[in-house]
A and B are shown apart, each in its own frame.
Chain A
């Protein structure tokens, strides 16, 4: 009796929902049925390919026999895909660096933790990560940066790029709002020039032109050059976001600061920027997401980031032809990271409003 009642109430709830959301009207019912049919055609075969018939830890030869997904291409090459050419025995170091970075990120998620200590914590953390990657002291064997690759490189290019670009972006935004014509012109020119060209042209510049710009004998490592291009590129976008924040601060705040007799640096540091930067945190996370995705462009100038290491796995004759598996795996890494960040940005936006 009780169970029957439960069943009935369940049906009572689900049926109106179905009618309301899937079958209200002839047109909607047709669309729902067509879509359900399409999903039925796509999802079960995909699941069969990806999970039922798939091979996870087999040899390449075994994969040729099967007709499901060959995830073995990932498991067999996982450490190369993730760490690139970093010396095999030392790969715990980039791993530790990544864990440190993710830990810092997770800790920074909570707004109650935002204070000066966290800021210094980040600086110490980044320094430590660089130390772990590079080595050379404290008994760590040195690893040249041309051996860096894979996911740590991708993360480094994105996060170092973002953090280094932020101060430059703030300066550019202030410059663009300045009343001094020369400074305003430089800022506008820089921002608009950079935003008008694709990142790839800056990366070409970093790989071909930067060496020409430097005096004879002075060379900068390829990764650092690409990192510089990413910083210069990201700064222009940050500048526009920060400018939006500066414009949103009421004029009274500027005037009140002036009437207190604060100097320009004091006014900005104590009154304006704390408010403006708080407003622009959600769009800044958006820029971080773009930067994270855009680092994949370094493939074109032959740096071994995550996308390049997975692509070169596919050029191994044993594992040729499994590009859907490899690309899906890399896509999943990017998707999870970006999705988490964009979700966080949306949540933050709601909290701050």
Chain B
């Protein structure tokens, strides 16, 4: 009944009333038109594609994933052979993407923070060099930087025979970087377990120290004690089992090095390029984040009698991080997406493996869908994390 009582007219531009000027009807009509257009476009694309696929006799579906891949992958985190099926090859590629993204994100955060702080240093030379670095690396396309580093590795560096030694047992040559690493020993598992125990113990100690501070107001040296615990416990276990330390050092045999940990030139160039490029953006974010905190905060904290380290840790950083983290995450996502440029310098990341798959099977639609799905998965997980973080860190006002 009530519906009928409502006035059935709306003031439009011309003062006309009626169905066409009813906002509800118009909104429904617009949405209907939009939906129809999208459906028509979708139908057009899908039917054309189906026709073309039939005409060119291209197989469809994801059945090919079970077939033998029969191509080599230059480097793999897990054992892989050309006899393995396509899905395993793609999985190896995805792991390579994760590997380069993970190492890249860690190194970028460190370098970016360092340069960002250097940019606001009171030392004129330091801040100018940081500024020049940021400008130069931001303004040159990442692909060009990757080509540059890769060519440097492949053309300029000497062969392994004349490798440059940049540290004790660390060699750099046109076959990449090799370095000495401790040879695996079964007792290392115990050392690793001791490390976990140490981390847990340190966490408990910090909690205890916090409670103690709340009760008595006295501050325990939590940082010193927890560092001692984290380093000490594994160290004692290692000494206890006889302190095994056999290094696997790289040795020249034939045309290449054997032993040690080898990093391929493709991976090195990709990592170097991604880190140097993204760190320039991260540095700007870190600088802006720190500068966003007003100087009054520092002065207030100091007047409360906090030490410089405490001022940074307890007052500045928690506020600056709130500004820094959201753009930082989007840079990390950019790094992950840019790692797809690996295909241009021959590092077998997901895109590169997928494009080989497309070339071999001819199933481009499935291949490109897989590429998009994998990157969307990374993006969506990151944005879920971001939303959680933003809720946790949001200012609780009044």
Binding site for B on A (CB under 8 A): 21-22, 24, 28, 31-32, 35-36, 179-183, 186, 192-193, 195-201, 204-205, 208-209, 211-216, 261-263, 266, 289, 293-294, 296-297, 299-300, 307, 311, 314, 321, 323-324, 327, 330-331, 334-335, 338-339, 342
Contact = CB atoms under 8 A, between A and B. Distances in A.
A188 B145 CA distance: 33
Contacts of A296: 141, 143-144
B343 A300 contact: yes
Given A212-B52, A324-B156, A200 B147 contact: no
A135 B155 CA distance: 41
Given A181-B31, A335-B136, A339-B139, A213 B155 contact: no
Interface residues on B, range: 35 or more
B53 interface: yes
B338 interface: yes
Nearest to B355: A204
Interface string B4-44: 00000001110000000000000100110011001000000
A299 B124 CA distance: 40
Interface in B317-350: 337-338, 340-341, 343-344
Contacts of A330: 144
B11 A214 contact: no
Contacts of A307: 141, 143-144, 147
B41 to A, nearest CB: 10
A199 B338 CA distance: 9
A200 B343 contact: yes
Interface of B: 11-13, 27, 30-31, 34-35, 38, 45, 48-49, 51-53, 55, 122-126, 129, 135-136, 138-145, 147-148, 151-152, 155-156, 337-338, 340-341, 343-344, 351, 355, 358, 364-365, 368, 371-372, 375-376, 378-380
Contacts of B379: 192, 195-197
B34 A201 contact: no
B344 A324 contact: no
A213 B144 contact: no
B124 A21 contact: yes
A131 B27 CA distance: 42
A338 B145 CA distance: 15
B48 A327 contact: no
Contacts of B45: 213
A32 B126 CA distance: 7
Contacts of A24: 122-123
Contacts of A204: 355, 358, 364, 368, 371
Most buried by B among A21, A32, A204, A208: A204
A324 B375 contact: no
Contacts of B151: 314, 323-324, 327
Contacts of B138: 338, 342
A31 B126 contact: yes
B123 to A, nearest CB: 5
Contacts of B31: 180-183
B351 A311 contact: no
Contact of A294 (B11, B141, B375): B141
Contact of B375 (A186, A198, A263, A338): A198
A198 B337 contact: yes
B275 to A, nearest CB: 17
Ranked 3 nearest A-B pairs via Cβ? A196-B379, A338-B139, A21-B124
A334 B140 contact: yes
Contact of A342 (B13, B34, B125, B139): B139
Contacts of B341: 200, 297, 300
Contact of B147 (A31, A198, A212, A327): A327
A216 B136 contact: no
**Most chain A CB atoms below 10 A, which of B53, B122, B351, B372:** B372
Contacts of B152: 323-324
A198 B340 contact: yes
Contact of A197 (B141, B343, B375): B375
A261 B13 contact: yes
Nearest to B370: A201
B368 A180 contact: no
Contacts of A201: 340, 351, 368, 371-372, 375
Contacts of B49: 212-213
Given A204-B355, A213-B45, A263 B13 contact: yes
Contacts of A321: 155
B144 A334 contact: yes
Contacts of A182: 31, 34-35
A32 B123 contact: yes
A22 B31 CA distance: 64
Given A182-B31, A183-B30, A213-B49, A35 B126 contact: yes
A261 B371 CA distance: 49
A298 to B, nearest CB: 10
Nearest to A187: B34
A209 B144 contact: no
A323 B123 contact: no
A26 B266 CA distance: 42
Contact of B139 (A186, A199, A262, A335): A335
20 contacts: A22-B125, A24-B123, A31-B126, A32-B126, A35-B129, A179-B27, A197-B375, A201-B371, A204-B358, A204-B371, A205-B368, A293-B139, A300-B344, A311-B147, A314-B151, A323-B148, A323-B152, A327-B151, A331-B148, A335-B140
B52 A216 contact: yes
B364 A208 contact: yes
A252 to B, nearest CB: 20
A21 B371 contact: no
A200 B351 contact: yes
Contacts of B52: 211-212, 216
Given A204-B368, A261-B13, A294-B141, A22 B123 contact: yes
Given A21-B123, A180-B27, A196-B379, A215 B139 contact: no
A22 B143 CA distance: 36
Nearest to B371: A201
Given A24-B122, A180-B27, A324 B148 contact: yes
B365 A28 contact: no
B144 A331 contact: yes
